[in-house]
Structure 1
Amino acid sequence: MATIAEALGVALDHHMGGRLDAAETLYRRILDADPGQADALHLLGVLAGQTGRADRGADLIRQAMAQRPDAADYPSNLGALLDAAGQPAAAAAACRRALALRPDFAVAWARLGGAAHRMGAADAALDALRRAASLDPADRDSAGRAALLLRRRAVALREGGRLDAAFDALRRAVTLDPGSADGWLDAAQLAHRLGDRAAALAGFRAALALAPAQPDGWGARAALLDEGGESAAALAASRRALIADPTLTAAWINRGAAFLGRGRHAAAAQSARRALALNPTAAAALCNLATALRSLGAVTAGVPLLRRGQRLGSYDAERGLLSAILYDPTLTEEARYAEALAFARRRAPAGLPAVPTFRNDPAPDRRLRIGYLSADLRDHPVARNIAPILANHDRAAVEVALYATDPRTDAMTERLRGFADLWRPVAGLGDAAIAERIRADGVDALVTLAGRFDANRPLVAAHRPAPVLISAHDGGTSGLPGMDALFTDRVLAPRSGAERFRERPFRLPGFYAFDPMTDAPPPHPVGHGADRPLTFGSLNNPAKVNDAVLTLWARVLRAVPGSRLLLRYRDQFLEPLLRDHVVAVLAGCGVAADRLVFPDGAADRRHHLAVYHEIDIALDTHPFSGATTSFEALWMGVPVVTLCGDSMMGRVSAAHLRAAGAAELIAGDADGFVAIAADLAADPQRRAAYHAGLRARLAAAPLMNGPLRARQFERACRALWRRWLKHR
């Protein structure tokens, strides 16, 4: 006759094999022979729960627990039964009893996690599931459920603005469940938003390795690569996204952005139009199309697109509009001013104190901490212009803090970092958080650089992060009510000028500052050009070369028979759409295509500057004149003829020419522009004098005297600091 232990083993075999009726019969026979047999009571209770008799099963397991109070698996199975019966609180209590007996019981932790989750105790559930996964690495179900809870927590944290905490939750989620492509994608997208480029790239790489056909992952990776300047890789990623899903609007948008980064503006426009065909309200596509059109010389056509994006609530469209209006020759200065004020009204945060409390030491003559906020602290015209000032600040009088809102770095970044007492990378922070960082650093005067352009953050100033707020290198007024001053000079912003400013124009003796371009080739020798026609030229961005500019240049070419016009900006004038438009406009003005020259793009700055050896006279643009471009032309000994405009951006070339002692090249109207250019074309000796002497004139000018410019900046900041002390 079989023993009870043998009979229990046979019953358990039936139970595990799914032969539940046979198992129940044997369990009952064992209990008939020994009513207090704990294992039979326990297993019959488990079986009863499995067959829909939860109350009877729970009663049997409790009887078993009374017989064997030290058996941890009894209350653990009771917890599973109760949870399945819709009693999570009782289930959790049973699991805790099991864990009190056996703290390393992975199954009980897992069951406690499930019960706690159903009770709405997310923290307790997460803790229990993580304990289960750590005790039993093979328990991928607990790890996956814990990861899912962390991802849900991350959503709530992100919606509450706690981005760092949300990212930490996602990082822990993918550690628990590294096989979740969605988890990696969530983490990568948030890392991207926080400005952690390395973490974002790693996340996208992991997500796409797990799910290679995931269009959203490829599309998001394309956006990240494009922002980092890796436009070729971004194009490849967007192509993969579109292979997976040709109807993915975001992928067409990212493809367009990547084409913009490659300087392929016609292709960018085509991609933007594909995106808009899929989603006419895709504001990012409207921005891409407007940017592409501007770079194809059609800025006026792009402005309505940006206004559409603005009406859709797109911040990027509003920022793009603030830039575009500087290039549009159809707008008045009053209209540009009104646009800046409207941006400030819509976007400046409400409810901030007009005069916040600052803890800065109020001593008027102490060492000032001047902060500079910029996305362009790399090889960029703004960085090249601010470098001579940063390099020459009087360290006894000034402490420098640099706030970088773009994570990209290069050799110029490292150079600028060397001039800073404080270096703060703030790309992943919101406007309010950046303002708080600046305030906590005790900055006395904050200079926001080129606020409306690139990835700059003009609305940081709306949070009043420092006692003194200064705008510099912007295209016009910031429109912000709290901005104290805009640094400019008497040429850029004459007191009787038409341009209007919300802030006080602080007119320095001179605004622009440049370092010598030591990598530039020498100006071409006198007499060069006898073997070719007299050549006018412009190396300005084609965004500045609107139809009104082309019409004015055509008048110059007609006034100088046999002359030609050279146009180059990287490779953009080689784009058929742009080149054909330029040819058509000039042909309509009586200038044949054979008088136009479109040289290939140069690989580096030295070769770019050497193109000036083929230009006798540079023709400027309007209403947005050359800035760095005009300085480079003058440094290369090429005279620049400019039409002095009504705005700061229309008067930059005039400022450079006055600094170089060549104010005679500044025209007050279109007739004067044509006359100056034609007279200069007819006077080879005068041109030779310019070619021989302009570089030396610039080198001796105040705009290349870094220490002088630094003192002027410092005195202005000190005056504004004292003014704040007086009126605070």
Structure 2
Amino acid sequence: MENTSSHLPPTSLDIGNQFQQAVSHHQAGRHSEAAEIYREILQVQPRHPDVNHNMGVLQVQQNQAAAALPYFMVALGADPSRGQFWLSYIDALIRTNQVQDAKETLALTRKQGLEGKSLDDLAARLQLLEQQATQQSATTVQMNKETPVSALNTASPSLQEPSIEHLDTLSALLSHGQIDKAENLARAMTVRFPNHWAGWKMLGVVFSRKGQNEQALFPMQRAAQLLPNDAEAHNNLGITLQSLEKTKAAETSYRRALQLNENYAEANNNLGSLLQKKGELKASESCYRRALKINPRYVKALKNMAVLLGETGRIDEAKSSYETILTINPDDVEALTELGTLQQKAGRLEESEVLHRRVLQIDPNLGAAHFNLGNVLFSSGKLKEAHEQMQIAVQLKPDFAEAHCELGSICQKLCQNDLAVTHFTRALQINPELAEANSNLGMLLYDAKMHTDAEIFYRRALRTKPEHALIHNNLGVLLHDLGKLEEAEAHFRTAIKLNPDYAGAYSNLIFSLCQDITSDESTMAEIYHRFDERFVINADRQTLTNSKIGDRHLHIGFVSGDLRNHAVASFIEPLLAALSKFPDLTLHAYHNNVIEDEVSRRLKQYFAHWHAVSFLSDPALAEKISNEHIDILIDLSGHSAKNRLLTFAKRPAPIQMSWLGCPISTGMSAMDYFLADHYMLPVGKMEEQFIEKIIRLPAHAPFLPVQDAPSVNPLPALTNGHLTFGSFNRASKINQPVIARWSKLLRALPDARMLLGGVPVNSTVMLTEWFASENIDKGRLEFYPHTNTHDYLSLHHKVDFALDTFPYNGATVALNAVHMGVPTLTVAGDTTVGRLGSAIMQHLGLNEFVAHDESDFIAKGKDWHNNLEKLAGVRANMRNRFSHSAIADTGGIAAALVQACRIAWQCWCTDGTQASIDVSDTQS
């Protein structure tokens, strides 16, 4: 059984003891301890005269004379006979330069018979203060003019409460914004009529309007005590308590106000606001709805309701609330701004732009409005206009860190990286904890291959915002590139947990898992299922109007972020050149990248229509593709960077295919076909890994070698006297099991060496340690960083043959090596990405470089070590082999693809059934 203790209210004896203890602390200079006990007593006896007086004295001793005044007023109200209370009150008035109030109060004190040296000293101080004020004033003050306070003090002593004239005067001062005069009169009322509600209530209102909520608390509490049945007094007290984060007490006050008047719209709204902050959204919404039922044009409640609806994902209802506000006040800047933000989030960028421009018509000097408009323009791809608006924002508000950060992002998109760094740095000078600026600077450094510095900024951003999904994703991408897959995947999973609709994090996780040796089919199947369920199965589909005529002209669209200087271009460029010659096809490009370079300009000539779509939302892009009546839409990214798989989820075309970028299944029920070849995806093998039907081409894709590549050199082992193995794969493909396999071959051939190219500087230590754990001395290793294409290809002059990675083989690097005369020793895996290397070697007729398992891998490596002359012959004849392979038969692959498209189209036009298609025998 649990022991519990009850809490009884303290007795007067307890309070006496507490008070003496507080006084001891106070006299000993332990002010914080004294204040704590004084406050505890005031919780029980808020009008305790001595405690209030001592709290006031404490505030004065801490140079907080203004804060002392309410305490002295309460003390006087509780016991106006105590001369010291009057002295302390007048002293505080003098300290706060409230000369007239001090003078009138001193006169009132003398009328009540208080005299003595202390009062004379105060009078002398007051006289000196008056003289100084007179000397400094440019005009003469008419001292004989009666003020509201003097009028009150000279009123009949028999008056028991403020007159109507006094109350009207106080209301007029408040309504005309004469806050200081209203404060003086309200204070005087609390002294003259300490048991009347008017002075206390108005004094609380005055303090609230001045933002002095701590000072407002006691007057509000006193007013509520004096007006126990006044709903407004309890509501006002609730507002003050809530501002001081005294949530429980504030809620009690609001509910008391509503007990007194259930039709009190403001109290319903205030209670709703408090409950919303507590996370009690359903109860909060009920309060707002009651407030709006009472007053449908209550703007504050409409705004609060709109915020709540937005937080709960009811965007259309939230927009409706803001639209209602704008019918009441078309110039409500807050409503225009929030509605503009909601429209932007919904992808309605034109509507959002109109709203933010309307804000600027109302107030052209509002920096935040320029920032918001710049944001929308940025999202719309209007980079120059966005840049202009952000520039205005920082000109109007030079310390606007968020605007500098966004300006940096715009500059980055405009390829003005130096300016981007300047703005990110400026943002961090203003606010070193701005997570977005740290993250964006990290992205810039990542793009510049400065991985160490990038990681520092990403981690700094996460320290500030540990629940920022985008930053977790970006750090995951960096760690993935460094080969730290386990840690990278943890960040991708965290990003997904924080934002379950973050499709990019899903794609990055899938892309990483297919390179992770610890991943298996069940892991992949589970994440595929989650992706399809989240983004595809219930996606809003486009209404297709394509005519079902089997032999008609076809419109084929290609969607990619890599139609530029990128590995994908090496495969797609020769194919597009061939496809563009088919008269019954029209080719459309949907380029999902702001970067367009010389390669992009070359590719454009093969398309009838080129669309830059990186700034289009997925719904907008799907609608565009559907409106252009694309018959067959081909994804060239898979789950790699800059994919638009969520556009495919909306099925904007009758037939959808995935190819090249990430050669694994998309896992999407909306994707119809996956393009491969017999070596990469043999019939009857691994098909269960795909939700798509398989189209088998003569080769997975054609390949365009670098045109000005260095010539092939003789086999270096013939002059070196030892073999040099090589790898030019990215670090993410090189894991410890890969190093272990390579090391077995290196141990079997003690004189052999290993060259690794394209390795990030901060991966070399990790790789060296992995080799060391396999007893491979670092003296046998050579590391080369990323470099230009010519120097990268020239490194092949040092390599006799390459060693493949697993579970994700090299493809582009293997084909570049082929063109440089370097074959790749590989193991045929049990996934498509694990058979890329073997497929290339088999297409070239180099089966002797394709191992069945690890022991066979070691055996084949030793065989080639013992047969260098044959290896030299392979090297010398490699380019000829390639030119006669299916990979070089661009025309054959293009004809096969067209044939496959026609077969798929005929199926759709008839009964819509789909089956795998084999066109691997098609020749040019």
What's the TM-score, normalizing by structure 2?
0.61
Choose the corresponding residue for 1:675, options 849, 856, 859.
859
Deviations 1:75-105 (A, max 9, x none): xxxxxxxxxxxxxxxxxxxxxxxxxxxxxxx
In the alignment, is the contact (CA less than 8 A) between 2:716 and 2:798 conserved in 1?
no
In the alignment, is the contact (CA less than 8 A) between 2:698 and 2:886 conserved in 1?
no
Which amino acid is 2:728 matched to? L
How far is 1:526 from its partner?
A: 4.6
How far is 1:257 from its partner?
A: 1.7
In the alignment, is the contact (CA less than 8 A) between 1:402 and 1:422 conserved in 2?
yes
How far is 1:593 from its partner?
A: 0.8
How far is 1:221 from its partner?
A: 3.2
Relative to structure 1, is the Cα distance of residues 250 and 668 closer, same or farther in structure 2, using a 3 angstrom cutoff? same
- Partner Cα distance (1:709, 1:433) in 2: 33
Partner of 1:522: 711
1:511 and 2:700 aligned: yes
> For the pair shown, which has the larger CA radius of gyration, 1 or 2?
2
Deviations 1:96-134 (A, max 9, x none): xxxxxxxxxxxxxxxxxxxxxx998848976xxxxxxxx
- Partner Cα distance (2:674, 2:704) in 1: 23
1:690 and 2:877 aligned: no
Partner of 2:461: 275
Partner of 2:767: 582
Deviations 1:131-166 (A, max 9, x none): xxxxxxxxxxxxxx7987864552353355421221
In the alignment, is the contact (CA less than 8 A) between 1:269 and 1:288 conserved in 2?
no
- Partner Cα distance (2:775, 2:625) in 1: 57
- Partner Cα distance (2:651, 2:485) in 1: 33
**Greater shift in the superposed pair: 224-233 or 698-707:** 224-233
- Partner Cα distance (2:406, 2:767) in 1: 36
RMSD over aligned CA atoms reads: 2.9
Choose the corresponding residue for 2:432, options 242, 246, 252.
246
Which amino acid is 2:544 matched to? F
Choose the corresponding residue for 1:644, options 797, 807, 828.
828
Relative to structure 1, is the Cα distance of residues 276 and 159 closer, same or farther in structure 2, using a 3 angstrom cutoff? closer
Relative to structure 1, is the Cα distance of residues 351 and 630 closer, same or farther in structure 2, using a 3 angstrom cutoff? closer
- Partner Cα distance (1:410, 1:171) in 2: 34
Partner of 2:608: 421
Deviations 1:371-400 (A, max 9, x none): 111111111112221111111114312111
Choose the corresponding residue for 2:630, options 437, 443, 459.
443
1:452 and 2:630 aligned: no
Partner of 2:780: 595
1:331 and 2:522 aligned: no
1:405 and 2:589 aligned: no
- Partner Cα distance (2:699, 2:717) in 1: 34
**Greater shift in the superposed pair: 177-186 or 470-479:** 177-186
- Partner Cα distance (1:155, 1:243) in 2: 27
In the alignment, is the contact (CA less than 8 A) between 1:194 and 1:427 conserved in 2?
no
Deviations 1:650-695 (A, max 9, x none): 1111121122221221112111122222222232212211221111
Partner of 1:322: 510
Matched ranges for 1:10-29 at <5 A: none
- Partner Cα distance (1:243, 1:228) in 2: 23
Give secondary structure in 1 for the equivalent of 2:406. helix
Partner of 2:253: none
Relative to structure 1, is the Cα distance of residues 148 and 552 closer, same or farther in structure 2, using a 3 angstrom cutoff? same
In the alignment, is the contact (CA less than 8 A) between 1:516 and 1:699 conserved in 2?
no
Give secondary structure in 1 for the equivalent of 2:341. helix
Which amino acid is 2:397 matched to? A
Which amino acid is 2:679 matched to? V
Give secondary structure in 2 for the equivalent of 1:590. coil
- Partner Cα distance (1:627, 1:671) in 2: 23
Choose the corresponding residue for 2:844, options 655, 660, 677.
660
How far is 1:590 from its partner?
A: 0.7
Choose the corresponding residue for 1:471, options 658, 674, 688.
658
How far is 1:532 from its partner?
A: 6.8
Choose the corresponding residue for 1:534, options 705, 710, 723.
723
1:343 and 2:527 aligned: no
How far is 1:50 from its partner?
A: 13
1:712 and 2:899 aligned: no
Relative to structure 1, is the Cα distance of residues 319 and 517 closer, same or farther in structure 2, using a 3 angstrom cutoff? same
Relative to structure 1, is the Cα distance of residues 150 and 626 closer, same or farther in structure 2, using a 3 angstrom cutoff? same
Matched ranges for 1:155-554 at <5 A: 155-171=341-357, 179-226=365-412, 233-313=419-499, 314-348=502-536, 350=538, 352=540, 357-393=543-579, 394-473=581-660, 474-498=662-686, 500-526=689-715, 530-531=719-720, 533-554=722-743
- Partner Cα distance (1:561, 1:531) in 2: 14
In the alignment, is the contact (CA less than 8 A) between 1:446 and 1:470 conserved in 2?
yes
In the alignment, is the contact (CA less than 8 A) between 2:325 and 2:335 conserved in 1?
no
In the alignment, is the contact (CA less than 8 A) between 1:486 and 1:503 conserved in 2?
yes
- Partner Cα distance (2:823, 2:743) in 1: 18
In the alignment, is the contact (CA less than 8 A) between 2:539 and 2:649 conserved in 1?
no
Relative to structure 1, is the Cα distance of residues 495 and 236 closer, same or farther in structure 2, using a 3 angstrom cutoff? farther
- Partner Cα distance (1:534, 1:208) in 2: 60
Matched ranges for 1:110-125 at <5 A: 122=326
Higher RCO, 1 or 2 (CA under 8 Å, sep at least 6)? 1
Consecutive unaligned residues in structure 2, runs of 5 or more: 1-171, 177-321, 913-924
Deviations 1:324-352 (A, max 9, x none): 11111101133223322221111226264
In the alignment, is the contact (CA less than 8 A) between 1:231 and 1:262 conserved in 2?
no
Which amino acid is 2:667 matched to? G
**Greater shift in the superposed pair: 653-662 or 580-589:** 653-662
In the alignment, is the contact (CA less than 8 A) between 1:368 and 1:398 conserved in 2?
yes
**Greater shift in the superposed pair: 308-317 or 647-656:** 308-317
Which amino acid is 1:503 matched to? E
What's the TM-score, normalizing by structure 1?
0.76
Which amino acid is 1:298 matched to? K
How far is 1:226 from its partner?
A: 4.6
Give secondary structure in 2 for the equivalent of 1:486. strand
How far is 1:601 from its partner?
A: 3.7
Consecutive unaligned residues in structure 1, runs of 5 or more: 1-48, 54-117, 127-144
How far is 1:718 from its partner?
A: 0.7
Give secondary structure in 1 for the equivalent of 2:719. coil
Partner of 1:567: 756
- Partner Cα distance (1:588, 1:247) in 2: 40
- Partner Cα distance (2:175, 2:433) in 1: 49
- Partner Cα distance (1:372, 1:285) in 2: 30
Deviations 1:599-640 (A, max 9, x none): 3542x2122111111111111111111011110001100111
In the alignment, is the contact (CA less than 8 A) between 1:293 and 1:302 conserved in 2?
yes
Q: How many residues align?
A: 593
- Partner Cα distance (2:747, 2:606) in 1: 50
- Partner Cα distance (2:519, 2:849) in 1: 25
**Greater shift in the superposed pair: 373-382 or 539-548:** 373-382
In the alignment, is the contact (CA less than 8 A) between 1:529 and 1:614 conserved in 2?
no
Partner of 2:63: none
Partner of 2:192: none
**Greater shift in the superposed pair: 623-632 or 205-214:** 205-214
In the alignment, is the contact (CA less than 8 A) between 1:215 and 1:245 conserved in 2?
yes
Which amino acid is 2:481 matched to? S
Partner of 1:613: 797
Give secondary structure in 2 for the equivalent of 1:598. strand
Relative to structure 1, is the Cα distance of residues 52 and 210 closer, same or farther in structure 2, using a 3 angstrom cutoff? closer
Which amino acid is 1:325 matched to? L
In the alignment, is the contact (CA less than 8 A) between 1:268 and 1:288 conserved in 2?
no
Deviations 1:497-556 (A, max 9, x none): 346111112222211211242121111135676147421111111111111111111111
In the alignment, is the contact (CA less than 8 A) between 2:633 and 2:657 conserved in 1?
yes
- Partner Cα distance (1:333, 1:232) in 2: 45
